Structure 1
Amino acid sequence: MFKIRISVLLVIATLLAGCGGLASLTGSGNVVTQEEAITGFDRLDVSHGFQVAVRQGGTFSVIIRVNDDLVEDLTVVKQGSTLKIGLKPGLSYNLENATLEADVTMPELTGADLAGGSHLVGDVEIGDVVFNLSGGSHVTLSGSAGDLTVAANGGSHAKLADLLVVNASVDARGGSHATVNPSGTLDAVVKGGSHVRYLGSPTLGTIDTDGSSSFKQE
């Protein structure tokens, strides 16, 4: 009995220590703006539901708007040629009412990884570009690009009807949606209740769909 009581107390102590080690941050009502002096990137990696507006320009600019109680947990760093925007991992966040915004100016955009309900919007004139979307993330771009590659998972949306591209390759899974506008060749994998729409009259290459998904011309 004595050993059992000790074991129970140890379990309770461990649970309490674990709970005490988690930060539950929700975002205060006070929004602060800060500028990050980061240059030399051509890709974006965005997480934690950040809303990013991208602009093209001859110089680099990164302006972040977040609630003041999230500033210490903000992560804005460059890794290689990628600008990463998000919050520190390993913490507990309730971000439903938080402000998580970024204005990014960059000369060229070659791709973006969006996770955790993040959004990327903008008007661009770029070369080949690759987008990886997961966790209900969205990309909405207009303008023009070279060849486009999109991988969308977990209920994500690629709204690219107004982005004129040459060739497009789309892989949509897990209830994701994509709309593209290629003038050359279109390849698509559409599975798991996903939907791909395309504009114009591209040459259809390899099209792989399942019974719960759809692939249609708009």
Structure 2
Amino acid sequence: MKKAVIIIAIVVAVAAICTVLILKVWPGVLVGSGNLETEQYAFGNFTRVEISSAFVFEIGYSDSYGINVTVDDNVMDYVQVTQEGQTLKIRLRTVPFLRRVTLRASVAMPELSGVTVSGASVGTVSGFSSTEGLNITVSGASIIVEGDITAGDIGFDVSGASIVQLEGSADDMVAVVSGASTFNLDDFTVNNAVVNVSGASTGIINLDGRLDANVSGASTLLYIGDPVMGTINVSGASTLREK
């Protein structure tokens, strides 16, 4: 028992020393304080949102605009929330290395025309219903899940081992899925779809109109419904079939 206690004490001491050394050798390392701070921002009249830097986010419908960011208090100075035209941007200034930090963002808005998510960010997009077009771009191991959207024409660009899983509906869809990404729209119905799946990616779509598809690089595209097959190209040990 005494030996175990000594070993644990040594491990703790070594870990503490290593942490100190890391902070001295790489002064850019930022360790979250654990004391959370929330900042509200008064931007408005934006229809697009860009989020990066590994934020956990919620983008939801509201009659009014609202932006809240919650992070460790020693991280707040690194947060950048800006508006460029109709685009709201949430990210961090360049930080070499982060450890044990909390990064949360909540955005409420009445109209959504575009979402861009990158840098291992994870979140939801829900509550929007419109006949206007919507473009969603997800990259860099980012994730959008548990969203509920109704839109006119919709476009997706999913890359870099990212994941998209949404419910809802749209008129026509154009989707590009690449780089070992996952695209799950089995509960998202569309009329016509043009889909390009590549690089060991997987897609599931739900439609009853025309399907044009290019599936390559050991990828899989599954479809739900009874689509009319348009231009179809399947190559490189890939699969296109009904789910």
Shift in CA distance, 76/29, structure 1 to aligned 2, threshold 3 Å: same
Q: Which residue of 1 aligns with 2:197?
A: 172
Aligned counterpart for 1:141 among listed residues 166, 171, 174:
166
> How many angstroms apart in 2 are the aligned matches of 1:210 and 1:195?
10
SS in 2 for 1:197: strand
Q: Which residue of 2 aligns with 1:212?
A: 237
**TM-score when normalising by structure 2:** 0.68
> How many angstroms apart in 1 are the aligned matches of 2:228 and 2:89?
36
Shift of 1:86: 2.4
Structural mapping, 1:22-101, within 5 Å: 23-89=28-94, 91-94=95-98, 97-101=100-104
Q: Which residue of 2 aligns with 1:120?
A: 144
Taking every aligned residue pair, what percent have the same amino acid on both sides? 36
Shift of 1:140: 2.2
Contact conserved, 1:49 with 1:119, CA < 8 A, in 2? Answer: no
Shift in CA distance, 136/118, structure 1 to aligned 2, threshold 3 Å: same
Structural mapping, 1:176-191, within 5 Å: 176-191=201-216
The reply to whether residue 108 of structure 1 matches residue 111 of structure 2 is: yes
**TM-score when normalising by structure 1:** 0.75
Cα deviation, 1:125-153, whole Å, max 9, x if unaligned, reads 22222222233222222122222222223
Cα deviation, 1:153-205, whole Å, max 9, x if unaligned, reads 32222222222222222222223222222232222222223322221112222
Shift of 1:104: 2.4
Contact conserved, 1:172 with 1:190, CA < 8 A, in 2? Answer: yes
Shift in CA distance, 34/210, structure 1 to aligned 2, threshold 3 Å: farther
Letter matched to residue 90 of structure 2: I
Letter matched to residue 206 of structure 1: T
Shift of 1:101: 2.9
Letter matched to residue 168 of structure 1: A
SS in 2 for 1:69: coil
**Structure 1: which 5+ runs fail to align?**
1-18
Shift in CA distance, 104/140, structure 1 to aligned 2, threshold 3 Å: farther
Structure with larger RCO (C-alpha < 8 A, sep 6+): 1
Shift of 1:26: 4.9
Letter matched to residue 80 of structure 1: G
C-alpha RMSD of matched pairs (Å): 2.7
SS in 1 for 2:74: helix
**Structure 2: which 5+ runs fail to align?**
1-23, 119-139
Shift of 1:21: 8.3
